[in-house]
């Protein structure tokens, strides 16, 4: 019984370097993304969409107190989807050959997340986080690749504003694995899920079509945690 109590106490107290206070965490990651798209009367689209690579990087700023963690920051997220295109028919020749089109969207996000730090063993911790993020949707980049051609295009602001909403909101979930190197620095690996909650498409640009478009991404991420409250600034040279 005594050993159980001591183990529980050690778990609550955490590692030798666990501390409360302010921290900053630059991070970078990549993974996979796709979308859910529905058309008339909320019916599924007949087009088959395929996932593409997703990229993210940013700077998170957080504060920890009694193992609770609250963080925000600024983050870039690139996601999208790919779908096949088929031109012509055996009896109707086409000027184009078949291929695929990739649509890639870029978002600038401000996340707000809450988490709880669970100390595991000698500097190792896990921390689940949930939250939401405001997204400024920047633009869309297209790539059409066929056997005969490979063309790229960035959608202009005017077209983007007609067909897409500039502002969106995401739900976020993240599971972090952390290791404290010392009282100043820690390493962080995480798996993150981003899901757009609001409609990405602007219905006004489609008339009666009224589509529903929500992108999502799953990313593996890595970062370095810097505990700002442990930084010791020099006092300067002493006077003789």
Please count the other Cβ atoms lying within 10 Å of the Cβ belonging to residue 181.
12
Q: What is the pTM of this model?
A: 0.82
* Residue 42 DSSP symbol: G
Low-confidence ranges of the chain (pLDDT < 70): 1-18, 38-47, 86-98, 203-211, 233-240
Determine the pLDDT at residue 29: 99
Q: Quick one: tokens of 182? A: 């010392």
Q: What is the pLDDT of residues 30-50, one digit of tens each?
A: 999 998 876 655 545 556 789
Q: What are phi and psi of 69, to 5 degrees?
A: -130, 130
> Which of 27, 209, 55 lies closest to 141, judged by CA?
55
Q: What pLDDT is recorded for position 18? A: 58
The DSSP secondary structure of 159-200, one letter per residue, reads HHHHHB-SEEEEEEEEEEEEEESSSSEEEEEEEEEEEE-S--
Instruction: Give the pLDDT score at 144.
Output: 82
Predicted local distance difference test score (pLDDT) of residue 234: 60
User: In this predicted structure, what is the pLDDT of residue 1?
Assistant: 55
Integer Cα distance of 53 and 47 in angstroms:
19
b/e map 22-60, b = 16+ CB within 10 Å: ebbbebebbbebbbebbbeeeeebeeebebbebbbebeb
For residue 56 the two structure tokens come to 């993210």
CATH architecture assigned to 19-230:
Beta Barrel (2.40)
Element (DSSP H or E) covering residue 12? helix 2-13
β-bridge partners, 140: 105
Give the number of other Cβ atoms within 10 Å of residue 233's Cβ: 5
Q: Can you give the pLDDT at residue 42?
A: 52
Phi and psi at 12, nearest 5°, equal -70, -35
In three-state secondary structure terms, 210 is coil
What is the per-residue burial (b if ≥16 Cβ within 10 Å, else e) of 141-159? bebeeeeeeeeeeebeeee
Q: Give the span between the Cα atoms of 218 and 225, in whole angstroms.
A: 21
pLDDT of residue 212: 74
Enumerate the domain spans of the chain.
19-230
Q: Is residue 80 within a helix (H) or strand (E), and if so which, with residue range?
A: strand 68-85
């Amino acid at each position: 019984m005594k050993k159980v109590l001591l183990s529980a106490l050690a778990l609550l107290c955490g590692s030798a370097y666990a501390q409360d206070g302010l921290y900053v965490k630059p991070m970078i990651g990549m993974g996979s993304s796709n979308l859910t798209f529905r058309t008339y009367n909320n019916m599924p689209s007949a087009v088959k969409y395929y996932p593409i690579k997703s990229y993210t990087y940013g700077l998170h700023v957080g504060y920890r107190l009694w193992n609770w963690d609250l963080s925000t920051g600024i983050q870039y997220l690139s996601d999208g989807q790919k779908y096949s295109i088929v031109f012509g028919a055996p009896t109707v020749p086409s000027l184009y050959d078949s291929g695929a089109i990739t649509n890639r969207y870029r978002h600038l996000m401000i996340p707000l997340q809450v988490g709880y730090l669970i100390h595991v063993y000698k500097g190792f911790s896990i921390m689940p986080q949930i939250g939401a993020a405001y997204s400024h949707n920047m633009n869309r980049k297209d790539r059409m690749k066929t056997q005969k051609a490979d063309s790229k295009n960035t959608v202009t602001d005017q077209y983007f504003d007609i067909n897409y909403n500039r502002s969106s909101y995401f739900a976020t979930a993240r599971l972090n694995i952390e290791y404290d190197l010392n009282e100043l620095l820690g390493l962080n690996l995480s798996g993150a899920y981003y899901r757009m909650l609001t409609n990405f498409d602007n219905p006004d640009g489609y008339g009666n079509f009224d589509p529903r478009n929500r992108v999502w991404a799953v990313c593996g991420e890595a970062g370095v945690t810097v505990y700002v409250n442990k930084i010791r600034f020099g006092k300067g040279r002493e006077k003789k």
